[in-house]
């Protein structure tokens, strides 16, 4: 039996114009800004759990989400 892998979630917050890409349900314990307004969040084991993008509508075209070569089932 394969372990349950959580779905990636995209959360846009119009009041702050920020996009949060959530990779895990695990809490973030450390954050690192890798470029202006782009912050990577890590859990206690150093795994990437999310990406926060400030001023997202200035950096990304949020009108359309394009999925390329994403399998229906992820393999572990």
- Give CA–CA dist 4/1, Å, rounded: 9
Query: φ, ψ for residue 27 (rounded to 5)?
Result: -75, 150
User: Is 0.85 topped by the overall pTM?
Assistant: no
pLDDT (0 to 100) of residue 55: 96
pLDDT (0 to 100) of residue 69: 73
Averages of pLDDT over each 10 residues, the chain, 76 residues:
77 95 94 97 96 95 81 61
pLDDT (0 to 100) of residue 2: 61
């Amino acid at each position: 039996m394969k372990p349950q892998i959580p779905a990636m979630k995209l959360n846009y917050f119009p009041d702050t114009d920020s996009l949060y890409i959530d990779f895990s349900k695990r809490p973030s314990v450390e954050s690192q800004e890798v470029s202006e307004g782009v912050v990577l969040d890590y859990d206690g084991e150093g795994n990437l759990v999310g990406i926060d993008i400030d001023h997202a509508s200035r950096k990304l075209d949020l009108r359309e989400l394009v999925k390329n070569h994403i399998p229906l089932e992820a393999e572990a």
